Amino acid sequence: MSSSTSQTELFEVLCFGPGIPPQGERISIRITSEGVILRPGGPDEETLLFESLRITAGGFDHNQITLTWMKREESGSLILSDPRAKTAFLAAAPSFLAPQLRQWQKQTSRVGRGMRFGWFLLGLLILSPLLLGLALWWKSDAIAEWAVHRISHTSEVKFGDLIYAQTRPGLTLLPEGETTKMIEEIGSRLTQASPYPFQWHVADDPTINAFAIPGGHVVVFTGLIEAAESPEEVAGILAHEAEHVLQRHSLKGMVHQLGWRVVLALLLGDIGGGRFGQAAAQMQILSFGRDQESEADLKGLALLKEAKIDPKGMITFFDRLSKKEGASIALLSTHPASANRAEAIRTEIDRIAPWKSEPLPYDWDAIKNGLKK
């Protein structure tokens, strides 16, 4: 904009000062080579000479030019927010105002950087749920692992008790008898050194399945016992399920499926009854990754060895199930192929040999016949 143009153009600006309402008043100004003319052409026209003006930055983002002056011991001010008015003023300002204008530019730049950083933080805050969701999706395994290691065993056991209490109405448990006695005795023998108070249950259900709840509840279906051909085969499955608890696979699975509200509740010890109803519903269909299944198999062998139970039962059970793959077997729905599992177990048994075992003292035929009644 040329100086001549600025001297003829009118701008509307906000003015404060004596005789003006506190909220200010919009007036016309003209910028000339001498200064700023207030209300040009009006009966109260007034010229503010450049040498009477003080320049500061103003406005929300400090991008406005504020001109202040003193008149009869009272101050007045103008806010130049119109870009054209600012351009005209900068073009007309004499050289002796240069120091003030440089200071104004510094203030504007500094506040501008602060505003951009503030907008960045605001954007980050708004997007943080989305970013957190992406992080959880991308690094869910690592995050779940990190979170689970910070949950105490005490909280985990309480959580497991709650889930079992909510799962229990959906189960038909066998009454005390030879079958439940066998499961409890083998289970106790496998987990003598465990930090968890394991509790073993037998559900009257023809499904070939078993599941482990965080904290130590393990439910074995009668269908699995009927599919087994020896107490040692059952012991192999119990050792496998016990390792799902000991390695906290069940807890990690719940964290994966139910998200951070479970983690926060467990970390804070805020374990209420109603909020984990969904957890109970998920328990029987909780799936583990192949690595977790393999880990439960191989570490389960260590439990069998410590309990002096013949590990070959685990092999024969999976060998037999491998011939049935394709059939609907809940225990295998997400497991590694049974033939591969059996081979991996053979290799591990050879690796940790020698192995001393004692026959399990149960009347297997009587137990099987008891299930048919």
Contacts of 211 (CB under 8 A, 6+ apart): 218, 219, 241, 283, 284, 286
Q: What is the pLDDT of residue 2?
A: 42
What residues in the chain have per-residue pLDDT under 70? 1-7, 59-61, 129-141, 143-144, 257-265, 267-287, 324-337
Angstrom distance (rounded) from CA 263 to CA 39: 67
Residue 46, H or E segment:
strand 46-49
Give the pLDDT confidence score for residue 63 in this predicted structure: 77
Whole-number pLDDT of residue 276: 60
47, 35 in Cβ contact below 8 A?
yes
Residue 259: left (phi > 0), alpha (psi -120 to 50), or beta?
Answer: left
Query: HEC states along 260-278?
Result: HHHHHHHHHCCCCCHHHHH
Greatest CA span in the chain, whole angstroms? 118
SS3 142: helix
7 close to 32: Cβ distance less than 8 angstroms: yes
Per-residue pLDDT at 273 = 53
For residues 315 and 321, the answer to whether their CB atoms sit within 8 Å is no
